[in-house]
Amino acid sequence: NAGVTQTPKFRVLKTGQSMTLLCAQDMNHEYMYWYRQDPGMGLRLIHYSVGEGTTAKGEVPDGYNVSRLKKQNFLLGLESAAPSQTSVYFCASSITGELFFGEGSRLTVL
């Protein structure tokens, strides 16, 4: 079972470039989330979605946009990458409280 799949797994960007991280889940979950994890900071919620066509801001939404056009996909966009966005990004989905995470996407912004 695929579960939650994130692409790409690694990416290096230059400051000002844009990119999109894709999260796909095959468990028919309503809820999906994007987190970032930095050393000493723990997991911080960027944006989340409670269903197809909905999105909401989390704890650290600035500099990111998201879209949930299809139930199984949740996209995270960086319009103009900054070095402060260097991080590991985790996508997750849930239906009854338990979160299922993807393997993470390591993004470096130079």
Partner 1 sequence: RKEVEQDPGPFNVPEGATVAFNCTYSNSASQSFFWYRQDCRKEPKLLMSVYSSGNEDGRFTAQLNRASQYISLLIRDSKLSDSATYLCVVSPSGNTPLVFGKGTRLSVIA
Instruction: Decide if residue 63 touches partner 1 (CB under 8 A).
Output: no
| Residue 51, CB-side half-sphere exposure with 13 Å CA sphere | 0
Instruction: Decide if residue 101 touches partner 1 (CB under 8 A).
Output: yes
Q: Which one of residues 66, 102, 107, 109 is an interface residue with partner 1 (CB under 8 A)? A: 102
Can you tell me whether residue 84 is helix, strand or coil? helix
| Selected range binding partner 1 among 13-21, 69-77, 79-87, 95-103, rule: CB under 8 A | 95-103
Instruction: Decide if residue 74 touches partner 1 (CB under 8 A).
Output: no
| Selected range binding partner 1 among 7-15, 17-25, 39-47, 74-82, rule: CB under 8 A | 39-47
> Are 76 and 68 spatial neighbours (Cβ–Cβ below 8 Å)?
no
The residues with which 38 forms a beta bridge, in sequence order, are 42
Can you tell me whether residue 69 is helix, strand or coil? coil
